[in-house]
């Protein structure tokens, strides 16, 4: 059974305020992988809180999947945000996403 049923519950707690819990949830969503991409993107679009958006972008950077390329425009847009933390997180996530795409491309060569 794929763990997609847990994604909405994890997203509720991603905005928890306890940094250790947020980091752990990001790791779990990253391991869930492609099934977490769309819900994370939807959550990003529905939030205006730059800190919560930063954690969503951070989490997207944890996903290792060929489908991660779907988030490219969202993360690039975040890299131009007014909020410094969101910009920095998005910039780091871009690097992680590129690494993920490169490693997946090597596997499929």
Residue 79 maps to which CATH number? Answer: 1.25.10.10
> Tell me, what's the pLDDT at 104?
61
> Tell me, what's the pLDDT at 1?
59
d(CA 100, CA 94): 10
Residue 33, sorted as left (phi over 0), alpha (psi -120 to 50) or beta, turns out to be left
Q: Which domain holds residue 10?
A: 3-107
Q: pTM (2 decimals)?
A: 0.90
Tally of structural domains, the chain: 1
Q: Are 18 and 52 in contact (CB under 8 A)?
A: no
The yes-or-no verdict on residue 7 having pLDDT over 70 is: yes
* Structure-model confidence comparison of residues 36 and 69, the more confident one: 36
| pLDDT tens profile 37-83 | 999 999 999 999 999 999 999 999 999 988 998 999 999 999 999 99
d(CA 82, CA 63): 25
């Amino acid at each position: 059974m794929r763990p997609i049923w847990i994604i909405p519950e994890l997203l509720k707690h991603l905005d928890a305020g306890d940094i250790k819990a947020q980091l752990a949830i990001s790791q779990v969503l990253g391991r869930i992988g492609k099934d977490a991409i769309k819900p994370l993107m939807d959550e990003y679009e529905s939030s205006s809180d730059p800190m919560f958006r930063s954690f969503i972008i951070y989490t997207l950077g944890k996903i290792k999947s060929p489908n991660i390329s779907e988030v490219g425009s969202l993360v690039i847009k975040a890299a131009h945000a007014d909020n410094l933390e969101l910009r920095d997180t998005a910039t780091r996530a871009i690097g992680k996403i590129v690494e993920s795409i490169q490693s997946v491309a090597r596997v499929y060569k």
